[in-house]
Amino acid sequence: MADPFITLGRVLMLVLVPTMLLFPMVFAALVPNRAADDSARIKARGLLLVLAISTAVLLAIWLGLVLTGARFPGAMMIAGFWWTWFFPLWFLLAMPAIVEKNPYLGWTAGGGSASGEVRAASLVNRERQNPVTRVLWSVPVILFVLLLAAIAARGLMPFGVGPYPGDSAVNPEAARVAYADAERSRWLLTLIVFGSVFGFLLAMLPRSLRRTLAEPEPMDAAGSVELAYLYQRQRRKRVLGLFWSCGTVLPLVIGTLSVLQVWFPSERSIWGLVGAIGGSLLGLGGAIFGTWMTIDRAKIAAGKARVDQASSVPG
Amino acid sequence: MRMLAISLSSPVPIHDQLVAGLRGLIAAGTLAKGDELPPVRQLAADLGINLNTVARAYRELTDDGLLASVRGRGTIVIATVERSSGPKAEERKRIETGIAAAFNDAKIAGLSRESVESIVHRQLDRLWE
């Protein structure tokens, strides 16, 4: 009888992989079109077309891998990791298309975008107030290198020496070799996926932080010091939240589970379950943080409205 | 805090308001040589205006020799109000033409001599204390 965890994992894979591949295209297509000019509109349309074609090609290949998976177990294994294409689809195609279509999408959450007849801005370059220092950057970089090294180190040890679920009664040596091959393939795939996905995320993080620093902070015409302080405090929380969650916590959780999977493969179904729970908790934490920031932003917007109202009252 | 304000209800185009506002801050010494300006995306987001409008204003001031793009620092102010040699002849001519055009506009708009004098004094007081 098949391991229920493995069956559950297969079912989840069949649902999650196409969902993740389709998500960037669907999201980018649904973003309201508020392109700055015709050239931005044309560029957005081009990027969306490339995104649609790339998504269709990736889905077709994935389907091919799933259908041939019964005969070639390696194909099914690759199909299970196919979700990692989400990152290039999202960061390289969907996000640029979204920025062209609607440069300020998401920035108005909880209010706070510039409005009214008279608009004012501080001339301070906020990139110079980035709370993420060079020293702080060493934490995610070292963590990434350590986790990658821990996964890579497994390759120095022999594969297929532990207990394996092979049919040892019929041909024990053939079963052991097949299991060792599968274990080696899984290790190599984990190494490539972790290295490329989190290497890519780490490379994209400075860009994401810069974008967060450039979120609108409309000021009152008099340049209220209190308002500037509230923006600064909220910006700091937002930037550090993004830095620690995407640069440290996420790679730490996924990396640790990847290390456990390659070093203790016989417990792989348990690590999968722990990963699913850990991933859900991370997602929940992200949602709570996002809601907190939105409420915070709304409070600042209300404060600005009060300052604007007070300055417009004659006398 | 260094601030830049624009009015959407003004008949003056936003681009011209940006250029005039930044010129005014440089002339008043609020923006000094070496000061960094915010990135185009940040200023456009804060003012809720098109990115291209800000980019065009920065470009115009760069062409006029007031700003410069420096790798690793973004857009910085390179003009200074304190010059030992004074303006060049062509710069002086350009300024005189601009002032003459403004006076012509004032006359056509029907402003009295007293009103123009009061505007001139206000501007002189703003920049030359």
CB contact under 8 A, A213 and B6: no
- Same domain for A55 and A161, yes or no, is no
- Residue B111 phi/psi, 5-degree rounding, is -75, 140
A219 Cβ under 8 Å from any chain B Cβ: yes
Structure token pair of residue A279? 């991933």
pLDDT at B45 over 90: no
Domain spans in chain B, listed from the N-terminal domain onward: 14-77, 88-127
Question: Could you tell me which of A82, A48, A87, A50 has the C-alpha nearest to residue A63?
Answer: A82
Looking at this protein, which amino acid is placed at residue A17?
V
Q: Confirm whether A116 is domain-assigned.
A: no
A residues 160-189 near B, CB within 8 Å? none
> Do A123 and B51 count as a contact with CB atoms less than 8 A apart?
no
pLDDT given at position A276? 75
**A256 has a pLDDT exceeding 90:** yes
Question: How high is the pLDDT of residue A288?
Answer: 85
Long-range contacts of B30-36 (CB under 8 A, 24+ apart): B30/B2, B31/A123, B31/B2, B31/B77, B32/B77, B32/B80, B33/B77, B33/B78, B33/B79, B33/B80, B34/B76, B34/B77, B34/B78, B35/B2, B35/B76, B35/B77, B36/A125, B36/A128, B36/B73, B36/B74, B36/B75, B36/B76, B36/B77
Same domain as A64, residue A14:
yes
pLDDT in tens, B105-123: 999 989 999 999 999 998 8
What the block records as the tokens of A203 is: 């490379």
Does B75 score more than 50 pLDDT? yes
Number of domains in chain A: 2
Considering only CA atoms, which of A77, A92, A85 is closest in space to residue A60?
A85
If asked whether residues A66 and A144 sit together in one domain, one would say no
Pair A171, A304 in one domain: yes
pLDDT top residue among A44 and A272: A44
- Confirm whether the ipTM is greater than 0.95: no
- Do both A141 and A95 map to the same domain? no
The architecture in CATH of the region B14-77 reads Orthogonal Bundle (1.10)
Q: Which of A118, A122, A125 sits opposite B74 (nearest CB)?
A: A125
- A294 and A204 within one domain: yes
Domain hosting A6: range is 1-106
A311 touches chain B (CB under 8 A): no
CB contact under 8 A, B39 and A223: no
Q: Provide the number of CB pairs (under 8 Å) joining chain A to chain B.
A: 101
